[in-house]
């Protein structure tokens, strides 16, 4: 397991089975989605705190050949409007 900024670590990792990303509220930079797609992991697990940027990034991953396999909201902050979402994307 490697914990690092994906933009810095990804080019040096080589072949990957899976990638887990937990970006800030702004979501992933478009270049990062492309870099992940070039690494061609079988699955990408995306943990999001913002449904809008998650939707935008899912569309970017779809353009790169990934489709949502499962989406699960997680209520980490009860009694508030905040929700985390875990989305598993699979390469097709």
Per annotation, catalytic residue among 3, 38, 49, 87 = 49
Residue 85 CB coordination number (10 Å): 16
- Residue identified by tokens 């209520």 is 75
Residue 3 CB coordination number (10 Å): 6
Please confirm, yes or no, whether 49 is among the known catalytic residues. Answer: yes
**Residues with Cβ within 8 Å of residue 81, at least 6 apart in sequence:** none
Catalytic residue IDs = 49
């Amino acid at each position: 397991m490697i914990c690092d900024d994906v933009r810095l670590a990804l080019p040096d990792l080589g072949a990957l089975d899976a990638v887990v990303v937990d970006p800030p509220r702004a979501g992933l930079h478009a270049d990062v989605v492309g870099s992940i797609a070039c690494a061609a992991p079988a699955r990408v697990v995306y943990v999001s705190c913002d449904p809008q940027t998650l939707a935008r990034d899912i569309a970017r991953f779809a353009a790169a050949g990934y489709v949502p396999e499962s989406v699960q909201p997680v209520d980490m902050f009860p009694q508030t409007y905040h929700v985390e979402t875990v989305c598993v994307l699979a390469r097709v």
